[in-house]
Chain A
Amino acid sequence: MTYFLVKQLCDISLLGRVLPFKVCRRKIPSYNICYRVLRHCLVKSLPVLSSSFRSLSTQPAKDAVDLSKFPVDKIRNFCIIAHIDHGKSTLADRLLEMTGAIAKTEKNKQVLDKLQVERERGITVKAQTASLFYSHDGQEYLLNLIDTPGHVDFSYEVSRSLSACQGVLLIIDANQGIQAQTVANFYLAFEAQLAIIPVINKIDLKNADPERVESQIEKVFDIPREECIRISAKLGTNVEAVLQAVVKRIPHPGGSVDDPFKALVFDSNFDHYRGVVANIAVIGGRVKKGDNIVSAHLSKTYEVNELGLLRPEEHATQKLFAGQVGYIIAGMKDVKEAQIGDTLYRHDHPVQALPGFKPAKAMVFAGMYPMDQSEYPALRSAIERLTLNDSSVTVQRDSSLALGAGWRLGFLGLLHMEVFNQRLEQEYNASVIVTSPTVPYKAILSSAKLIKEHGGEEVTIVNPAQFPDRSVVLEYLEPMVLGTILAPDAYTGKIMSLCLSRRGVQKSMVYIDEQRVMLKYLFPLNEIVVDFYDLLKSMSSGYASFDYENADYQAADLIKMDILLNGRPVEELTTIVHRERAYSTGKAMCERLKESIPRQMFEIAIQAAIGSKVIARETVKAFRKNVLAKCYGGDITRKMKLLKRQAEGKKKMRRVGNVDVPKDAFISVLKRKEK
């Protein structure tokens, strides 16, 4: 069994990971899974002289906090990772209270989750950081809690946060046990070679079964059950043990105050008044107000205006020292200047830059259009402001004959997209039409001429209009994901047939305890992008959890499908589909159009076609009679109003051939279905 598990882990890492500096490690087959590697990969190469380090700071303490009294061996950088609702934010609240970062009140709920969408959905989208002061065995420690988003869509954010840490608290619900995101998050931490402390939360619940969860942890993650800490974050039970474990089990950061200053930018925010606020992890040396620092990425020099700790509010200090985590404001005017993953150093002492991060790649695309074109400028500024703080969203202007001017936005994943929409609606009060999401396909060109034109043989296709013809293509590729599903075994059959219908290929199936199964499937991303998760949830009465990670591209039999109205193609409804799915997709689109195109004076044929071959058809019958039979006593006001409204509507309709198509029809076909 152990063998099986290990093999599976290796499979995953081969398929899943993208960060290049991890490659060397994941190829080493390891039968004894190392869940605790002492040093973070980014700081691995730095000289290690930490344990014998003494604070030699002579700086008089002008700050309320004298950071010089925290040498690296008194610092722990960690984050909390968990499946949704397993209690990450509650534990963070408790840790903040116990260390005096915030007052202990009833009101402390999700203190680190500042966004409305975070509070509503119980998720973290934007990572926050909090520095905690903690005394243990007569020693004062600086614990930096770097909050992370919980969902793998934000794994980019997670890995950024992880890169500033040496250890993680992996929270697992004592009732629900290991869930899909627990697994995904574990691997992120595992591959970043962080110390992992499993924390079993919610032991106060009636159905809590920490024993079972411990065996799951042992089985799935190969972590001895003795290392699990059982707590109730809600009641504060045993939370002290968590803090002790952070001190004892998580290695301190490397680096020394004597090194030249070097810091990693792991997050950045934009503040209208102060410009860019960059969150940094000081890898070596020290930095103070007034220092001239350089960003390695742009080689631009800045003067440090302000710096300090995040507790979680900004708390200005005079200096930051090696191993510490905090914020810095240095006159950067644009988030692009504070490139995440960038290295900062003193202008008079250049250092070798850290490897940085590979930029996040948009995997889910959707069109966004204002409900009414008059709202375009407002929506534009809302999108601009939102993307200012979320550089992982790609924005491309787009326009549709039916929906007007809008954008094509790229997101890291589905949740990312939903969260973005929700923020757009809640924080900017913008009402938008969001089209059904699509994924980026690729084509390997065969024609030398086209290769030259594109400057390479591979082209990425985001818009179906750009889909190159089969005749000039060697093969088409579609993005794949490796999905993890955890569910009670009673649902296995149903789930397997769902996966099969979504062109999923089973990679593994493991019982993590007597009742729960972990399934791994390789899916085309396109198949899970719309309603897969909803179906999975409903067929398992909500018990199944699902998560996925990107798993590169695979050759696929892709075709372009046109929707025709009385023989005329409707440009904005052209879709790229897998040949196997063409019929069902085409039929569904025709049916939705039929429902929303009003009857007209002639018959309307709605067809889905591949090339010249029609694969599905619906018909809207012609009106045989459409005239009001009676006009009473000169009362034509009502009739005129109705006709005028229809005339106005007519102006807004999109004419395809001789067919008037109301905007609503496009919306109903293109729009994501409401849940």
Chain B
Amino acid sequence: MITYMFRKASRGFSPGLRRFSDLKVTEHVPESPASPRLTEQASLYVHWPYCLRRCTYCNFNKYIPKENNEDIMAKCLQRETETLLQLSQVSCITSVFFGGGTPSLAHPSTIAKILETVSKQVNLSDEAEVTLEVNPTPVGMSKLKDYHHAGVNRFSIGVQSLQAKDLKSLGRDHNSLDALQTLAEARKLCPGGVSVDIMFGRPNQTTELWSRELSEMLRVCDDHVSLYQLTLERGTQLFKQVQSGQVTMPTEEITAEMYQCARTTLQQHGFQQYEVSNFAKNNSESRHNLSYWTGRQYIGVGPGAHGRFVPLGEGGVAREARTQTLEPDVWIREVRQRGHGTRRRIQLGHLELLEEVLVMGMRMTTGINHKHWELFSPELSLLEIFGGSLVVQELLQHGQLILDDRGLRCSWEGLALLDSMLPVLLVELERGFSQKLAAN
């Protein structure tokens, strides 16, 4: 019965893919062929897993290298890029992002080689955004020019703070002077293509200190600011310090105030908020990140990288959530053995895909427009799903959510409460989806 229903659904949602119906795919509905663009292109994320030291707040996948194995790492990243590009069958890579870890520890030639690999295999336009995360250390700064030469056209600089004391206590390996110099150098190389990461909600931080620091930052920064709230993660040194009472974190009330204060300040300085934590002026939005939020395909390369794409190369029809092996050494071994270090592959059902599109899309201030939603859900419109819901009506009435002829999005106030609204929206989506399935 269930198989039957899914079969019907798969027909319903994807008339053009009937050629696959003799394959044993019933549950997982392929992405809508209404937009071949979705499977023809992807963005590329490349993970550099190494850091010089461990920041006290970070629980991300990074390793302090024991030896210099950059050559091996470079070769493996290239190899995996090749494999996954081939698997995805994309013809075009729209953007590349080197993240980490500390990718600015990588030699510029490594970056160049990877970009070469990409452009050899698929179309990587000169216009394509190529971003590198940079730690604003003197060493990092000294390589900016070479990175630029290698093809990087956007730098995302992890300034985090301009307070010397805080940088130290957070365990960062730079000081504020380094940050300012790196920033200036980057702006010189890529005017309009430099982003700064700043972090609020730091230990002992007050709203006033934060406000002052932000103003200072705004005087020196380029056209893009990413605003991150320091979240206390289990297993970090900071977590232990807070647990033992050595360090106090600002309360929820205070961080809420800091967030609102930052949003207002940035707006006053001409920055448009385009996502929960991203602000830009002069059209300098991160295109790479926008492609995540608009539900495009992305390929993740490197230890622990995540990807979302249809493995057309092996006859796949549904998008997969893919994760690469975490530990660099194991990952290296796997890439050498079989060309890639993919550890986990989970096929996304149609509903799951829509859930991701919804969750990611709502992070943007423009939300999800009707056309965009239709790309993924030709059969079930936003209005059908959310228009009749009482709970959604309440959110609309309270002015936290907006559903109009443009689409579905958060209001200014609502955006700060997105995580409270998403569960409600997900429940409605599931309800609408299963009703549609039953009706078909």
Contact = CB atoms under 8 A, between A and B. Distances in A.
A406 to B, nearest CB: 25
Interface string A622-660: 011111111111111101100110110111000000100
A628 B231 contact: yes
Contacts of A626: 416-420
A633 B97 CA distance: 9
Interface string A481-497: 00000000000000000
A658 B390 CA distance: 10
A633 B292 CA distance: 9
A636 B362 CA distance: 14
Interface in B395-440: 395, 398, 400, 415-424, 426-427, 430
Contacts of A46: none
Contacts of A637: 306, 321, 323
A634 B306 CA distance: 6
Nearest to B292: A634
Nearest to A634: B306
Contacts of A633: 45, 47, 97, 99, 300, 305-306
A644 B276 CA distance: 20
Contact of A629 (B60, B231, B420): B231
B385 interface: no
Nearest to A633: B99
Interface in B238-290: 252-253, 255-257, 259-260, 276-277
A627 B308 CA distance: 23
B292 A631 contact: yes
Given A643-B423, A644-B426, A647-B430, A634 B300 contact: yes
B355 A640 contact: yes
A629 B419 CA distance: 10
A601 interface: yes
B359 A639 contact: yes
Contacts of B421: 601
Contact of B417 (A625, A634, A651, A658): A625
A647 B427 contact: yes
A624 B256 contact: yes
A630 B227 CA distance: 8
Contacts of A532: none
Interface in B353-381: 355-356, 359-360, 363
A16 to B, nearest CB: 56
Given A623-B256, A626-B418, A634-B45, 14 more contacts: A601-B395, A623-B417, A624-B260, A625-B252, A627-B415, A630-B226, A633-B300, A634-B305, A634-B306, A635-B306, A637-B306, A643-B359, A647-B424, A649-B423
Nearest to B346: A637
A630 B229 CA distance: 7
Contacts of B384: none
B298 A640 contact: no
B307 A634 contact: yes
A600 interface: yes
A53 interface: no
B207 to A, nearest CB: 12
Contacts of B415: 627
Contacts of A627: 276, 415-419
A21 interface: no
B359 A634 contact: no
Contacts of A631: 292, 360, 363
Contacts of B329: none
Contacts of A625: 252, 255-256, 259-260, 416-417
Interface in A102-142: none
26 contacts: A600-B420, A601-B421, A602-B398, A624-B252, A624-B256, A624-B260, A625-B252, A625-B416, A625-B417, A627-B418, A627-B419, A628-B276, A629-B227, A629-B228, A631-B363, A632-B60, A632-B99, A635-B306, A636-B306, A636-B359, A639-B359, A643-B419, A643-B422, A643-B423, A647-B427, A651-B427
B394 interface: yes
A632 B360 CA distance: 12
A411 to B, nearest CB: 40
B422 A650 contact: no
Nearest to B43: A634
Interface of A: 600-602, 623-637, 639-640, 643-644, 646-647, 649-651, 658
A639 to B, nearest CB: 7
A640 B226 CA distance: 22
Interface string B306-324: 1110000000000001010
B359 A640 contact: yes
A600 B419 CA distance: 10
A625 B400 CA distance: 12
Contact of B394 (A624, A644, A658): A658
Contacts of B277: 629-630
B165 to A, nearest CB: 22
A601 B424 CA distance: 12
A636 B307 CA distance: 10
A601 B45 contact: no
Nearest to B253: A624
A628 B306 contact: no
Contacts of A639: 359
A628 B417 CA distance: 9
| Interface hub of A631, A632, A634, A644 (most chain B Cβ within 10 A) | A634
A636 B360 contact: yes
A89 B97 CA distance: 78
A625 B227 CA distance: 14
Contacts of B99: 632-633
A624 B363 CA distance: 17
A629 B400 contact: no
A13 B277 CA distance: 77
A629 B276 contact: yes
Contacts of A634: 45, 292, 298, 300, 305-308
Nearest to A638: B306
Nearest to B277: A629
B419 A628 contact: yes
Given A600-B420, A626-B418, A640 B356 contact: yes
Contacts of A601: 395, 398, 400, 417, 420-421
Contacts of A624: 252-253, 256-257, 260, 416
A642 to B, nearest CB: 9
A624 B253 CA distance: 7
A644 B348 CA distance: 14
Contacts of A644: 355, 426
Contacts of B426: 643-644, 647
Contacts of B300: 633-634
Contacts of B45: 633-634
| Interface hub of A623, A625, A631, A640 (most chain B Cβ within 10 A) | A625
A479 B359 CA distance: 56
A635 B356 CA distance: 11
Contacts of B363: 631
A623 B355 CA distance: 24
A661 to B, nearest CB: 14
Contacts of B276: 627-629
| Interface hub of A602, A630, A639, A644 (most chain B Cβ within 10 A) | A630
Contacts of B298: 634
A626 B424 CA distance: 14
Interface in B209-243: 226-229, 231
Contacts of A649: 423
The 7 closest A-B pairs by CB, nearest first: A624-B256, A625-B256, A629-B229, A647-B426, A646-B423, A647-B423, A627-B418
A619 to B, nearest CB: 14
B403 to A, nearest CB: 17
Contacts of B423: 643, 646-647, 649-650
A305 to B, nearest CB: 52
A144 B422 CA distance: 71
| Interface hub of B60, B252, B253 (most chain A Cβ within 10 A) | B252
A632 B323 CA distance: 13
Nearest to B418: A627
